[in-house]
Structure 1
Amino acid sequence: MRRIFNLNSKISRMSTKTLVLIPIAVGINLIGGTLCTTLKLPLFLDMIGTIIVACLAGPWSAAMSGVLTNIFLAVVASPVYLPYAVVSFLCSLVTGYLVKWGAFRNKAGIVLTWLSCALTNTISASLVTLYVYGGASGVNSTSVLTVTLLATTKKIFISVISSSMIENMIDKGVVFIIAFLIIDKLPRHFLNQYATNLK
């Protein structure tokens, strides 16, 4: 059990190719995340690179990409992103392990991975939003939807989790489509250098 959570062990077992891939993924995530924050879009698009890493290099490499993305977004965009690093960590592991178990080899598996990632993000992000930010982080226009639902339901938990679910179903759907299209265009000889989870 201790070995599973030994981060140093996970990092030391990563190949040089994987370690090079992580900053590239973080860069892709930052472009999407910063763009959405700047334009106040009701999306995040900050997991595209993480999904690609999950497919190529596995769950723990993806988790590192996700956490680093949140740290950098907290620096370059808004400190609000920092507590959501745990959300990225959990979503990366869920996605990475589903890919590792072969879920990305067919359309049904991709849909299952998308839904699992969206559900994980909805629950964990809602808890952060509720207990860290009191129900609204203000990082994008989703807060407007939360306030609208709150005016109708009068229940903060239902309002936050409902707006988060709507947002994540759309956001993760777009993210998975973009990530899939990028992976699909990668040369086979490049894919062969990484994990065989897509074969």
Structure 2
Amino acid sequence: MPTDDSTNDDFDDIASSLRDLRARAGGPSYAEIGNRIALARIERGVPLSASTPARTTVYDAFRLGRSRINAALVGEIVRALGADDAEAEKWETRCGLAQKARRAAPAPVTPAAAGASTGPRSTMWTAILLIGCVVLNFSGSAAVATLGLPLFLDMIGTAVAAMAFGPWWGVLVAAGSTGIETVTGTPDALPFGIVNIAGALAWGYGARALGGARSLPRFLALNLVVGVVCTIVSVPVLMILFGGETGHASDQIAEGLISSGEHLAPAVFTANLLTSLADKLLSGFIALAVIGLLPARMLKHDLVGSMVGRMATGDARRDGETRTDAALRA
């Protein structure tokens, strides 16, 4: 466990170290950590009514992007996670130094106020990440074409950009992927660019504004909603421009429905919906795994990253739905 007070003087560093410590301790839930703290307080003579910290208060200590930190609570948390008193005191000292450094630091100057860009380094990393997302889209499409899968998998990178960086970054990846595909010999891809864009907006706003990445059940629902949205947008394109067929494996489902007496439009809608729901579920979870590999400092929003951490420790179902909005302030 890092305890170098001279270098770890940032609140995010402390929160990241706490996450690592929690993972090494077996990933106890925030409620369990709170219970351990309560038992230790009672042993010190704290009244029972004041002994248990709120689960959201405990969670806040692990959250990135904090503007303040409770050194005493951090000490209690690391003790609850197995640290001895000497180690806990180092954590408390580290928090104190971080608070001192934050108070002494000058107010940050935003790029707009400074009249400058975020710099070539930031621009370079942004470009690399976006290019990587476009590559993910093409990799998924290539896998489908190679294996003959009844899926699309052409929006994985779109989902990564939309959920991790923002919906309009997802739109940029969607437009870029469609543009490249169109000019490299697949003009039929152009009309479906609007489907990719719709998916970017649904994933981005659903995960970030509506809390769709705050727990496993919510994330499942979000991906299903994205599947429905994409079907609603794509079916008119299929019917008007392609007569309901594009040569995709999902056409076989529609043909089966038509042969059983279903009309063309409902058959195409049903086939596309079934394919889209399965596709967006798989794409969404692949995107979530990719986001989990990104450094926390690259993410503009920590809801998705925190869900990855909770799923990795098996705590999503126990803790995700009960966390209040106060614990999610950015």
Larger radius of gyration: 2
Q: Secondary structure at the match of 1:104?
A: coil
Alignment match, 2:321:
none
Report the residue type matching 1:53 in the other structure.
A
Greater RCO (CA < 8 Å, at least 6 residues apart): 1
Q: Which runs of 5+ in 2 are unaligned?
A: 1-116, 307-330
Q: Which of the numbers 200, 209, 221 marks the counterpart of 1:112?
A: 221
Which residue of 151, 174, 192 corresponds with 1:66?
174
Match of 1:156 in 2: 264
Q: Are residues 1:32 and 2:140 paired?
A: yes
Letter in 1 for 2:149: L
Out of 170, 191, 201, the residue aligned to residue 93 of structure 1 is 201
Which deviations, in whole Å up to 9, do the C-alpha atoms of 1:82-139 show, x marking residues without a partner?
210011111111111112213212112211210110001111111111111001011x
Is 1:80 aligned to 2:188, yes or no? Answer: yes
Task: Give the TM-score normalised by the residue count of structure 2.
Answer: 0.52
Q: How is 1:118-133 mapped onto 2 (pairs within 5 angstroms)?
A: 118-133=227-242
* In structure 2, distance between residues paired with 1:39 and 1:87: 23
Between the aligned residues of both structures, percent identity stands at: 27
- Tell me, in whole angstroms, the C-alpha distance in 1 between the residues paired with 2:276 and 2:191: 17
Structure 1, unmatched stretches of 5+, are: 1-12
SS in 1 for 2:138: helix
Q: Are the counterparts in 1 of residues 156 and 287 from structure 2 also a CA contact under 8 Å?
A: yes
Determine whether 1:174 maps to 2:282.
yes
> Does the aligned pair in 1 maintain the 2:174–2:196 contact within 8 Å?
yes
2:245 counterpart residue number: 136
**Where does structure 1 differ by over 6 angstroms across 4 or more consecutive aligned residues?**
none
Three-state SS of the structure 2 residue aligned to 1:43 is coil
**1:4 aligned partner:** none
Pair 1:187-2:295 in alignment:
yes
Superposed CA RMSD: 2.1
AA partner of residue 158 (structure 2): T
Q: Which has the higher helix share?
A: 1
- Is 1:52 the equivalent of 2:52? no
- For 1:85, the aligned partner's letter is G
The CA deviation string for residues 16-39 of structure 1, in whole angstroms up to 9 with x for no partner, is: 243432211001111111221344
Aligned equivalents of 1:176 and 1:77: distance in 2?
28
> Structure 2 CA distance, aligned partners of 1:105 and 1:52?
16
Q: Between Structure 1 and Structure 2, how many residues are aligned?
A: 184
Hey, what's the Cα distance between the residues in 2 that align with 1:175 and 1:77? 25
Deviations along 1:138-196, whole A, 9 cap, x unmatched?
A: 1x2111211111111340111000000110111111111111122223333443xx334
Q: Relative to 1, partners in 2 of residues 1:77 and 1:168: Cα closer, same or farther, differing over 3 Å?
A: farther
